[in-house]
Amino acid sequence: MGRESERKFLITDDSWKALATGIKYRQGYLPCGKGIVVRIRTAGDKGFLTIKGKGEGLLRKEYEYEIPLAEAEELLDEFCEKPLIEKYRYRILYRDSVWEIDEFLGENAGLIIAEVEVTNEKDKLPLPPWVGKEVTEDPRYLNINLVRNPYTKWAVTKG
């Protein structure tokens, strides 16, 4: 059984950009309920189907499968809620942890979030100098919620 436990942070500056090259992602969500999320994603030239269960703290079940790119694109265009999430994802190694930085485009332009997977949500995590406020517990920053309430539509006081 797959599981993920991750923490999310806002970014304080763009010094991280020199450390990695981004890959273009498009992702969307199929209508579901009861805390289940079904995500379709393209990352570069690959397609993925991901099923996520309800969370228990930071921990939740996750299953991901590679699918043909053409099918992923068709599902995104024809079946997923709009607007789609479009972003560049960068992966940066910092003190034995891989940080994923998402620089959002389109309806969520201006938002940059850093995520890191953790084995224990209570562990003390060394933070890179470009990481700021933690937003793990703020549901606005969940990708599925960014579809339903895009960042560009938030009130002037963001973050």
Q: Which of 25, 29, 90, 141 is catalytic?
A: 29
CA 57 to chain centre: 17
63 is known as an active-site residue = no
> Known catalytic residues?
29
